[in-house]
Structure 1
């Protein structure tokens, strides 16, 4: 579990509620279920209109990466390529067939299988690089769905405030009720801004970093196994892969 994500969210919300309390505001006024519904549910609904059901479901599943992040170990990948390169140099590329199943990356597995099968190195490298980019674009689209949820939230917050003001105007004959109604109405704007800028956008930035790291790892494996297939010296290959970090 990524404690930094949880800690960051806690710190952000504590700062807001603490500032409200120090300013003499009542915490209870910030808790409003109708405002939460119109902002959160309304934003998700608006984002669904512009997306497909599959993208929406996979995007929501990707949110768990923010709390349970995947591990992309570039150092371990470089060490693995170095070991395979030395073995291929000492024996042959065909000797790496026993190492295919041990690779814990589908692009590395496919690249090494193609290399062992005698596929032209440039052919499988180009093909796998294109596929890695398509995977990256698909996952970026999932993150785009989440970003659209955040982008709609402030507008839905304003709409919630307008609805609240309409209800508040119905109590013009009661100044006390009118003041309370106006205060509650603006909670929707607060929810919209908070949901977008304290939750959705930061989480999307974190997910984007993981998706970029995944692409980098896949490219490292593809380029590394391509280097093995064309017979690059292990030390030269190691120097070239040092740029992946």
Structure 2
């Protein structure tokens, strides 16, 4: 679990609640069913119209990564690649075949299979770079779902506020209802702006960062496997891949 992300999310709610109390309002004032429906369900509706089902499904699958991101250890990956290089020099490329089933990452398995099959270095690079680009684009599209939610929710918050003020204007004859009505109208604005800036946009940025880091790890795999296919010395491979750690 990523403790920093968890603390950040909790702190976001604490800030809103504490700010409300310090401003002299009550916690009950933060709850408004109509504003919730307009902002939250309205944002979901907008995303359903804009986004294909497969992208939404992938976005839902990526959401836990905000709080439990994969551990990207470039140094460990480089060490494994150097080990594959040393093994291939001792036993030939077929000596890497047992390593294929031991790998959990399908991208790495595919690369090792191409290597064991005796594919040319440029063929390995070409195939893996196409898959790298495809996977990266799929994940970036999924992360943009949260970015789009952060774009829609403030606007829907304004819509909710305007609708609330419309209801207030219809009760101008009863001054006792004006204060409560105006306060309730602006709750939608809080929902919309808070949802965008405290949750959706930070989540989108975090997921994009994880996608780029994953792509960097896969670039290391590509360079390493191509170098092995070219017959480069294990020390040369290690020196080349160490550049990614800088």
TM superposition score normalised by structure 2:
0.95
Structure 2 alignment gaps of length 5 or more: none
Partner of 1:68: 68
1:160 lines up with 2:160 in the alignment: yes
SS in 2 for 1:134: helix
Name the counterpart of 2:21. 21
User: More deviation in 177-186 or 92-101?
Assistant: 92-101
Deviates more, 1:78-87 or 1:9-18: 9-18
Cα RMSD, aligned residues only: 1.3
Post-superposition offset of 1:60: 1.9
Q: Aligned residue for 1:225? A: 225
Size of the aligned set, in residue pairs, is 245
Match for residue 188 of structure 1?
188
Residue 13 of structure 1 and its aligned partner are, at CA, apart by: 1.9
In the aligned structure 2, how far is the partner of 1:94 from the partner of 1:176? 83
Say which SS state the counterpart of residue 244 (structure 1) adopts: helix
* Alignment correspondent of 2:169: 169
Deviates more, 1:6-15 or 1:64-73: 64-73
Specify the alignment match of 1:54 in structure 2: 54
Unaligned runs of 5+ in 1: none
Deviations, residues 35-62 of structure 1 (Å, cap 9, x unaligned): 1221111011112212212211221221
Residues 56, 161 of structure 1: alpha-carbon distance in 2 compared, 3 angstrom cutoff: same
* TM-score between both structures, scaled by the size of structure 1: 0.95
Tell me, yes or no, if structure 1 residue 96 matches structure 2 residue 96: yes
Q: Is the 8 A contact 1:107 1:222 kept in 2?
A: no
